[in-house]
């Protein structure tokens, strides 16, 4: 059993994580269109992480004896001005998700749900890592500017990113 407010906050966050997956899939399509295979691979890891974030909460709601009810996922943007512009959008989105996770933690605190607070702590730490990872690539893109050969070198570097399934909770 879980407080109704807590359950509905989790369901809302599941939707946000699935939207993140959808947005990053759209950004992957943008990179593939530019023939930036490494950037696309980097996004692939991001997509799988967002799916894992959603499923972590999905499983937690079930574990607490509540039913998961899904809602519509918003249509993501499909084009950006440049890879730099796309990464600015990713960072802004992660900052938004961080604020949503903080809101979720606030609901857990308001409803005095200690178990949910412990569970949400993992996501609070994960957001620090997300913002740092995205910020790192963004800083490199800012340095690169219009240098095409530097962009292709970064593309090669990003192609090495590998998904490691997170242990959530
Ligand atoms: Mg996420």
Map out the domains of the chain as residue ranges: 4-71+81-158
Inform me whether the pLDDT recorded for 132 exceeds 90: yes
Q: Nearest Cα to 94, choosing from 60, 67, 65, 130?
A: 130
Q: Percent of the chain having pLDDT more than 90?
A: 99
- Going from the Cα of 97 to the center of ligand 1, the distance in angstroms, rounded, reads 7
Ion ligand 1 — residues with CB < 5 Å: 17, 50, 53
Q: What is the average pLDDT value for the chain, to the nearest integer? A: 98
CB-based contact 122:169 (threshold 8 Å)? yes
What tens digit of pLDDT does each residue of 145-159 get?
999 999 999 999 999
Through-space distance between the first and last CA atoms of the chain, rounded to whole angstroms: 18
Inform me whether the pLDDT recorded for 169 exceeds 90: no
Instruction: Write the CA distances from 44 to 24, 40, 89, 139, integer angstroms.
Output: 8, 6, 16, 20
Inform me whether the pLDDT recorded for 71 exceeds 90: yes
- Going from the Cα of 83 to the center of ligand 1, the distance in angstroms, rounded, reads 21
Q: Which pLDDT belongs to residue 131?
A: 98
- Going from the Cα of 49 to the center of ligand 1, the distance in angstroms, rounded, reads 7
Question: Measured between alpha carbons, how far is 102 from 67 in angstroms, rounded to an integer?
Answer: 23
- Going from the Cα of 47 to the center of ligand 1, the distance in angstroms, rounded, reads 9
Q: Which CATH superfamily includes the segment(s) 4-71+81-158?
A: Ferritin, core subunit, four-helix bundle (1.20.1260.10)
- Going from the Cα of 152 to the center of ligand 1, the distance in angstroms, rounded, reads 27
Distance of CA 121 to the CA centre of its chain: 16
Q: What is the pTM of this model?
A: 0.97
Inform me whether the pLDDT recorded for 22 exceeds 90: yes
Place of tokens 């949400």: 120
- Going from the Cα of 103 to the center of ligand 1, the distance in angstroms, rounded, reads 14
Q: Which pLDDT belongs to residue 138?
A: 98
Q: At what angle are helices 37-63 and 4-33 packed, to 10 degrees?
A: 170
């Amino acid at each position: 059993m879980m407080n109704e407010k807590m359950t509905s906050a989790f369901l809302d966050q599941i939707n946000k994580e699935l939207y993140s997956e959808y947005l990053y899939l759209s950004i992957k399509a943008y990179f593939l269109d530019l023939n930036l295979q490494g950037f696309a691979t980097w996004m692939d890891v991001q997509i799988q992480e967002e799916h894992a974030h959603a499923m972590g909460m999905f499983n937690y709601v079930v574990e607490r004896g509540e039913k998961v009810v899904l809602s519509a996922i918003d249509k993501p943007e499909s084009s950006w001005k440049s890879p730099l512009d796309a990464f600015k959008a990713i960072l802004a989105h992660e900052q938004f998700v961080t604020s949503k996770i903080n809101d979720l933690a606030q609901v857990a605190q308001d409803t005095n749900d200690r178990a949910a607070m412990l569970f949400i702590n993992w996501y609070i730490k994960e957001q620090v890592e997300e913002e740092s990872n995205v910020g790192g690539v963004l800083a490199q893109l800012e340095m690169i500017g219009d240098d095409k050969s530097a962009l292709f070198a970064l593309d090669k570097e990003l192609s090495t990113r590998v998904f490691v399934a997170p242990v959530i909770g």
